[in-house]
Structure 1
């Protein structure tokens, strides 16, 4: 059974419009883009979906807007009556799909529901204990996918909590014990204003002063830091600790000092031994 389309999380121009105009009243009317069918082969969280768009004059240009899909790519073999794309599904729940022509006129609109079998959970084992975090892809789809990509690749193994402030937060995921900083994946879009807040026990992404700059580093709020929801553009919350908050509290109380040009570095390394999705 063919399923409704899941497309790009931002509006993406897939084919540029072109063509000239004429003042001759007897010329053939301008061609218009129309869509007769939009289907997807599957709606599976964090899997690739193949999308087929059928219609007329699709070569004149179409734009997609959808928060449920990441990295849409047009596949080879497109024609004026059919285009095929692939994208990674990262959103869940009911999300709107809108397709417009090259002039911005709406030519297709629908809602689709992306199921989520279980809420993703990640278990982080440190040399001070185990912490289980439940992630929220419905509210922070890009951030959750990014975090799971790092966890699945093994990136977080032997990284440390390099910044610990007892009345604020504990930050890790970017440095080794000797304060080396390995290469990371590309930075992601900042997801704020989603209804998630930097309260005690939540996990959020660290970033630079540039809004869309988060990569691997994350922090766990040890107190309510709701000012971070908007301060400097906000900091994206994407989950919460559901087990092991006592371990977080032990980490926040370790002795720290300035080392390697960084402040609040634990004197004894707090090491992430493993980071695995366990649900």
Structure 2
């Protein structure tokens, strides 16, 4: 176990060396506070099982890239997805696509956070989603799945309230399941390691 932790810390340090922000690489279970227009959600991330995905997410968090974005896709009993668009549905700048870590043993269970992607496996970038049910169809099997990288530890009731927001077809974007009234991620903050 000690060798695994040392490997993860070393890998994390190498990945973080290219970032221009201060993230404690020894904190293998960082917590992020998501202040939404409907309340606060706190997630604990798992660098042991999803180091690349967690570091990618943290890069967007500490740069303020998730601030004032909307949850643009809400399907009750399935997912709440966001991180990519502002209130005018203007796409936010994308970073590099990351390696799909869906085979890490974490499952798309109720209350977990995972990366959205295109049909191709290694296309996750900045969009993420919360699972509103045990979505076994999103786990890997004969095909690549969606990489889970953490879980809600505070604010489950906020996620449940977001899940019930009325949605409709959005003609401008030609999308289904778009909230009629915006649900905004006002601010995402990396919490200190001792919180």
TM-score of the superposition, structure 2-length normalised? 0.85
- Residue 146 of structure 1 aligns to a residue whose secondary structure is helix
Deviation track 1:156-189 (CA, whole Å, cap 9, x = no partner) reads 0110000000010100001111111122101100
Q: 2:156 aligns with which of 229, 245, 257?
A: 245
Deviation at 1:116, TM superposition (A): 3.3
Q: Any gaps of 5 or more consecutive residues in structure 1?
A: 1-5, 10-42, 48-68, 72-85, 89-114
TM-score computed with the length of structure 1 as normaliser: 0.60
Greater share of strand:
1
Q: Is there any run of 5+ residues in structure 2 with no aligned partner, and where?
A: 1-5, 20-24
Look up the match of 1:14.
none
Contact 1:148-1:277 at 8 Å conserved across structures = yes
Secondary structure of the equivalent of 1:220? strand
| Distance in 2 of aligned mates of 1:116 and 1:196 | 21
Considering fraction of residues, name the structure with more helix: 2
SS in structure 2 at match of 1:190: coil
Q: How many residues align?
A: 179
> Which has the greater radius of gyration?
1
Maintained 8 Å contact 2:35/2:41: yes
What is the 5 A alignment of 1:1-279? 46-47=12-13, 69-70=14-15, 116-117=26-27, 119-230=29-140, 232-259=143-170, 260-279=173-192
1:89-124 CA-partner distances (Å, limit 9, x unpaired)? xxxxxxxxxxxxxxxxxxxxxxxxxx8346200000
Shift in alpha-carbon separation, 1:117–1:70, aligned structure 2, 3 A: closer
Distance in 1 separating the partners of 2:156 and 2:76: 14
Q: Tell me which of the two structures has the higher relative contact order, counting C-alpha pairs closer than 8 angstroms and 6 or more residues apart.
A: 2
Mapped partners of 1:230, 1:117: distance in 2: 27
Distance 1:276 1:44 in 2: 24
Root-mean-square deviation (Å): 2.3
